[in-house]
Structure 1
Amino acid sequence: MKGIIFAFLGGACITLQGVANARISQDIGTWQAAAITQLTGFILALCILVFVRDGSLAQLKSVKPLYLLGGGFGALIIFSEVTAIQQIGVTFTISALLIAQLFLTFVIDINGWFGMAKQKMKVPQFIGIGMMVAGVIIMKF
C-alpha cells in the first residue's frame, strides 16, 4: 500500500512540476527552467538527506557509471515535458508521457536491463497498453 501511495504522490508531483516549469520557462526560457528545477530538487534532496541520513555516500564508487547519468535524464525530461505542455497541453502531454514510460518499462522488464529480473509479458499487459493508447487518442479527439 505504501508503494502505491508513493507512486500516486510521484505522479502528482510530475504533473505539478511540468506545469510549474512550463510557466517558469515562459518567463526565463526552457533550459533555464530545467536548471532551476534541478537546482531546487538538489537542495531539497540534500536537506532531506541531512535529516534522514539513510544510505552511504561512501558506497558511491560501487555504483556503475551509467547509472550516475540519471540526473542528466532529469534535465531532458524537464525540457521535453515543458516543450510538449506548451505545444499540446497538460493532459495530452502527461498521457503521452505515461504511455512512453509504460512502453519503456515493458522493454526493460522483457530484456532484464539495468539488472532487473526478466519478466514475461502476457496478452493482458499488451491489451492494457493498447487501451491506454486508445484512451489518449479518444481524449485528444
Structure 2
Amino acid sequence: MGKIIMLVIVLLAGMGQGMQAAVNGTLGKRIGSIEGAFVSFFTGTVMLLVIMLIWGNGSLSTVWQVPKWNLIGGILGAIYVFIVILAVPKIGVTSAITAVIIGQLMMSVIIDHNGWFGNEAIHFTYKKMIGLVLLLAGLYFVFSDKH
C-alpha cells in the first residue's frame, strides 16, 4: 500500500477517534463512565472478532509466546477510552482530543529518541521541541476559549 494512501487512512482513523470521543462521552453521561468504557470495548471486541474471522491470517494461539509487555496495549486503550469518556463532558471534544494528540506526540518523541519497544532511535531535535511547544500553546488557546 502506498505511503500517501496509508497517510489518508490514518487521517481518517484520527477523524474516527474524534467521533469516538464525542459518542463515548455521550454514552458515559447516559450509562456511567466505566460502564460506557466497557460497552465501547465490548462492541469493539465483537467487531474485531468478526473481522478476524473473515480476514484474519495470523496465529492467535501464539499470543502466549510474545513478551508480556506486548499485552499492555489493550490496558492502555481501555484507560484511554475511560479517561476520554470522563473528560469530554467536562472539557469538550476539541480540548480532550487536542490534549490526547499532544500527549501521544510527547510520548512518541520519548519512544523515538530512546528507541524503545524495538523501534529505531530517532533523536529529539530542537525543531521537534518547538513543534511541541507550539502544540501546547494551541492547547492553551483551544481550552481557554471554552472556559
* TM-score normalised by L of structure 1: 0.93
CA distance in 2, matches of 1:95, 1:128: 14
* Displacement of 1:61: 2.4
CA distance in 1, matches of 2:32, 2:141: 32
Unpaired runs of at least 5, structure 1: none
CA distance in 2, matches of 1:49, 1:8: 23
* Displacement of 1:100: 0.5
Q: Is 1:22 aligned with 2:25? A: yes
Identity of aligned residues (%): 30
* Structure 1 residue corresponding to 2:12, chosen from 9, 12, 18: 9
RMSD: 1.3
- Counterpart in 1 of 2:44? 41
Unpaired runs of at least 5, structure 2: none
* Structure 2 residue corresponding to 1:72, chosen from 71, 75, 82: 75
Q: 4+ residue stretches of structure 1 with deviation over 6 A?
A: none
For residue 43 of structure 2, what is the amino acid of its counterpart? Answer: T
- Counterpart in 2 of 1:118? 121
* Displacement of 1:118: 1.1
Q: Is 1:138 aligned with 2:141? A: yes
CA distance in 2, matches of 1:138, 1:23: 24
Aligned residues: 141
* Displacement of 1:5: 1.6
* Displacement of 1:108: 0.8
- Counterpart in 1 of 2:55? 52
User: 8 Å contact 2:25–2:88 — kept in the other structure?
Assistant: yes
CA distance in 2, matches of 1:113, 1:9: 27
